[in-house]
Structure 1
């Protein structure tokens, strides 16, 4: 049977790939909003936020993020995975309003990064764009055999999971997945990928935290039942809270993951998982899948970038089964 050897979870914010002097400019941009959603305002005082934006502190936090990425990479590679099962969200990259599945798995042999061009992103993301997309079409090897097995086993487990084996025309593999290879594992030989897509962002069919726990457990059982000697690591891509940072929510999540507390993960309020914070669902699923594996916080860095309390709660976490 396949061997689950561990996993990792990390943020994929553009702030990880732009010098701290650019954080304030990025934070001052008008942030896009999903229709019908109002963000909960920060609970930090104006004075507290002023103190968070001191240039030396921003620079120190940027460096802390780089060290955390490196440690996450090193601990993931130490697991010696043959395949990466990456749980991430799609932000209108492969899926549009013609179809927006709650859970979907690709079971083909490759997916392409079909770069949309840096002009579709804010100008402040210029330095970060290359960690999301290549200059031209870039092919990612996917593991169709394991992808098909996961679909079949999840259906048996009661999940009406979507599946596809062909990439929609003129649509690209999303940054939740490309970031893993272009930034976390930058410059290294690529490990075959099984992408698991969760609709974290777009109402009305986002999985609840409780359902994400159930999904993680079912995924683990499915991988364990695969008749192969391959070593498999799971990765959660995205989060933590953003664009408004909620340190209490972030730290509570990390503590629940360390404690293997699936009940606490399932109780995370749905209303707190809005916009970028919705990517916490990916962490919940991986945490539940690796509930039997020792896990540890690599670091948590609240990377504020504006007086409104916007930024990204940068989280880095690993699990090792061996």
Structure 2
């Protein structure tokens, strides 16, 4: 039987790959834009947040993120996984408004990164683009057997999951998944992928935190009932709070993950899980699958980039069967 050996949670923000002197150019948010996106303003004042934007502090935080990425990668590789099950969100990449499943599992034999071109992204993302997409179409091998098994087992567990085995024409594997291979595991031989896509962004059918807990538990059972002798690692891609950083919410999540407190994960506030912060749902799902495995925060870095409190709460977390 397959064994879940552990895994990781990792932010995939462009700021990880943009030099710190480019963070401020990457974007600010004014009050009307906050309201339009359904975001609450930062609890901190602009005067208070100005102290977060010093060049030395931003450089130190950028460096801390690089160290945390490397440590997360090393701990993931130490698990010696044979296949990666990545829980991420799709941001109008494979799914558009013609159909938007709450949960979807791909079980074909490969998926392609069909790059949109750097011109489709803000100029401030020039340095980060290559960590999301290649220059040409790039094929990712997917584990069809495990993907199909996960679909069948989730259905048996009462979770009505979307499934597909053919990539929609003209649509690309999303950056939540390519980032794992192009940045976290940059330059390494690619392990087979099973992508699980949550609709974290787009109303009205985003899974609630409680539903994500249920999904995570069922996903653990599905993986461990797979009859292949394979070592499986689970990865949560995205988050934490952004584009407005909420350090209290981020630390509440990380604390609940360390304590394996599913009740607290299920209570995380739905009204706060909007825009990029919605990717916390990916972490809830993976965390609920990890009971009995040791979880620890590798680092948490509040990477502010403006006096509006915009930026990204960078989270790095690992689970393993050890206690180191």
Aligned to 1:175: 175
Aligned to 1:228: 228
Query: Is 2:249 aligned against 1:243?
Result: no
* Alpha-carbon spacing, 1:50–1:37, altered in 2? closer, same or farther (3 Å): closer
Aligned to 1:68: 68
TM-score by length of 1: 0.98
- Deviation of the 1:47 alpha carbon: 2.5
SS in 1 for 2:23: helix
- C-alpha distance in 2 between matches for 1:70 and 1:33: 35
**Aligned residue pairs: how many?**
322
Please, what is the CA RMSD of the aligned residues?
1.5
Aligned to 2:81: 81
- C-alpha distance in 2 between matches for 1:29 and 1:192: 38
Please say if residues 4 and 321 of structure 1, whose CA atoms lie closer than 8 Å, have aligned partners that are also in contact.
no
List runs of 5+ in structure 2 lacking aligned partners: none
Q: How does 1:121-270 map to 2 (within 5 A)?
A: 121-270=121-270
Aligned to 2:19: 19
* Alpha-carbon spacing, 1:289–1:34, altered in 2? closer, same or farther (3 Å): farther
SS in 2 for 1:99: coil
List runs of 5+ in structure 1 lacking aligned partners: none
SS in 2 for 1:168: coil
Aligned to 2:101: 101
- C-alpha distance in 2 between matches for 1:8 and 1:86: 10
* Alpha-carbon spacing, 1:254–1:148, altered in 2? closer, same or farther (3 Å): same
Please say if residues 34 and 275 of structure 1, whose CA atoms lie closer than 8 Å, have aligned partners that are also in contact.
no
1:127-168 CA distances to partner (integer Å, 9 max, x unpaired)? 000000000000000000000000000000001100000000
- C-alpha distance in 1 between matches for 2:35 and 2:232: 38
Q: How does 1:29-44 map to 2 (within 5 A)?
A: 37-44=37-44
- Deviation of the 1:36 alpha carbon: 6.1
SS in 2 for 1:280: helix
TM-score by length of 2: 0.97
- C-alpha distance in 2 between matches for 1:271 and 1:146: 34
* Alpha-carbon spacing, 1:290–1:33, altered in 2? closer, same or farther (3 Å): farther
SS in 2 for 1:232: strand
- Deviation of the 1:88 alpha carbon: 0.1
Aligned to 2:321: 321
